[in-house]
Every structure is written in structure tokens, then in C-alpha cells.
Amino acid sequence: MLFGKNTPKNLGLGFLIVIGLLVIFAVVVFLSGDAEAAIVRGYHSGNIPIWDESTHPPRAEVRLDMLGNDLSPGVETLLQGVCYDVLEKEDKPFYLYFGMGFQRGNLKIQPAVGWSFRDNEWVLALRTYPKWERWRGYSNVEYQLETKSWYYLGQIETHINDWVEWGVEVEGWGDIDDHMTSNGAGLNVVFNTRPVRANPDAKIRIEAGIQWREMGDKYKPQVLVRFIFTPKMEAHSPNIRRR
């Protein structure tokens, strides 16, 4: 049973907020049809119909994080696959990264190198993961060497409980040579389906938010959802039949 007498009120409220944002997102996708993001991470701009003149097209991201065992105390490996805009009709921006995370107190720093399958070029990235009691942060800065494109994401969120978080974020991208930029800021709500108190990474994490975004010299709200999957990496139980 999802909710019972002992369910914290904040959990129910946060869950309803997430469901509401996802419903909004579903309506956006339905109304937009085959609409694509007007400028996706600054690499392309297309003649794309806006589903509504008062908003930018919605965005959705899917991320798979494969966390490796510690090579040594405070060192962790990461193999990550990302599609930054699954709503694009063609040439979806798929990326593959390999990173090394170094834990120092309440801060984890993770340099990474990646490959852009759409642009066929290398990507350099630096992520940080600060934590304080009930607060967590995340930042990601990326740069593509050949197209001279950049991307950043910064988030600060607080735990309502093990299942729900909410916070603020900033996100932007650009292309230096083509002088294209897009920057946005807004609120987000996070739903962790399988939280573990000792591990801030949930098996399935859903980030739903609304940003006020500048894109194509127009300032409008934009709905976005990120689906982050982190497989549970556990040691296998010993086979009792083995002697």
C-alpha cells in the first residue's frame, strides 16, 4: 500500500506535485505532436512549430548511471549513457561518458570524458556532488572540442523525506562559433522510487520541473522531465550448493 496512516504528509504532498507535473508534461507531449526542441544543447536550430505561443517546447532526458565498485577508498567509477532530448524526431543527442569520482568529505568531484554520437566528437565534463545534512547539490559543466559547444546544469535540492525532494536549478547551453545560447532557471520536484538512506542515488529518479527560459531571443516557461536510472550494484549472494 503506497499511502497509509503512518505516511508523512509531506510524502503525499510531494507525490501529488510530481504526478501533477507529469500530467502537465504528458499533455504537453500530446499537444506538441512531433514537435522538437527549437535549440537542443545549442548544436542545432530548426524550423520547429511551437505547441503554444506562450511556452517553449517541452524537453525530456533519459540517463543511465552504472556506478562501479570503489577502486580505493573515496574513488568510484561511472559509466553513463544519456539522451538529452528524447523528444527530438531525428538525430537524438546520445552521449556516452566514463568518469572517476573522488570523495572528499561532503564533496564528490567527478571528471569525465564522453563521446557525442550525433556530433561524432569528444566531450569533456566536470561534475560535482556536494551534500549537507538535508540538502544536496549537483553541477555539470561540459565542453565539446570541435563544435566548441558548452552545456551546464546546476541544482540545489532539499530532502522532504527519502522519497521526495524539491529545489531550484539553472541550465543552459550554447555554441561559441554560431553565437547561439539558451539559459533558463526554475523549480523542480524529485521523486525517488527506491530510496536508500545510506545512498543518495535511487534506482529510479524522476526530476520534473518548470524553467523560465531564454531561447531564440524569447523568454517563456518550459516544462521538462528527467528519468535517471541507477541499477542496484550489489554483490551476489554465495551459492549454498557450492562447497
Judge whether residue 113 has pLDDT over 90.
yes
Judge whether residue 2 has pLDDT over 60.
no
Strand 59-67 and strand 218-229: the pairing is parallel
Tally of domains within the chain: 1
Please report where in the chains the cell 545510506 appears, as a residue. 198
Residue 238 belongs to some domain of the structure: no
57, amino acid identity: P
Residue 191 belongs to some domain of the structure: yes
What local confidence, expressed as pLDDT, does residue 198 receive? 53
Residue 15 belongs to some domain of the structure: yes
Judge whether residue 23 has pLDDT over 80.
no
Higher pLDDT, 18 or 221: 221
Residue 61 belongs to some domain of the structure: yes
Q: Environment class of residue 214 by beta-carbon count within 10 Å: exposed (0-12), middle (13-18) or buried (19+)? A: middle
Judge whether residue 112 has pLDDT over 80.
yes
With beta carbons less than 8 A apart as the criterion, state whether 177 and 190 touch: no
Q: Read off the CATH number of the domain in which 173 is found.
A: 2.40.160
Residue 234 belongs to some domain of the structure: no
Give the pTM.
0.74
With beta carbons less than 8 A apart as the criterion, state whether 198 and 67 touch: no
Calculate ∠ Cα 88-209-197, nearest 5°: 115
Higher pLDDT, 189 or 46: 189
Within 10 Å of residue 36's Cβ, how many Cβ atoms?
A: 21
Residue 207 belongs to some domain of the structure: yes
Q: Environment class of residue 177 by beta-carbon count within 10 Å: exposed (0-12), middle (13-18) or buried (19+)? A: exposed
Please, what is the average pLDDT of the chain?
78
CA distance 133 to 103: 16
pLDDT classification of 179: cutoffs 50, 70, 90: confident
What average pLDDT does the segment 33-62 reach? 58
What local confidence, expressed as pLDDT, does residue 20 receive? 54
Cα-trace Rg, the chain: 19
CA distance 219 to 192: 31
Q: Taking Cα atoms as reference points, which of 18, 48, 20, 13 lies closest to residue 34?
A: 48
What local confidence, expressed as pLDDT, does residue 234 receive? 52
CA distance 43 to 145: 13
What local confidence, expressed as pLDDT, does residue 127 receive? 97
What average pLDDT does the segment 30-47 reach? 41
Residue 47 belongs to some domain of the structure: yes
Within 10 Å of residue 185's Cβ, how many Cβ atoms?
A: 14
What local confidence, expressed as pLDDT, does residue 32 receive? 40
Residue 190 belongs to some domain of the structure: yes
With beta carbons less than 8 A apart as the criterion, state whether 153 and 142 touch: no
Q: For the segment 74-90, what is each residue's pLDDT rounded down to a tens digit? A: 888 999 999 999 998 88
Q: Quote the percentage of the chain above a pLDDT of 90.
A: 49
Judge whether residue 120 has pLDDT over 70.
yes
pLDDT classification of 38: cutoffs 50, 70, 90: very low
Range of the domain at 217: 9-229
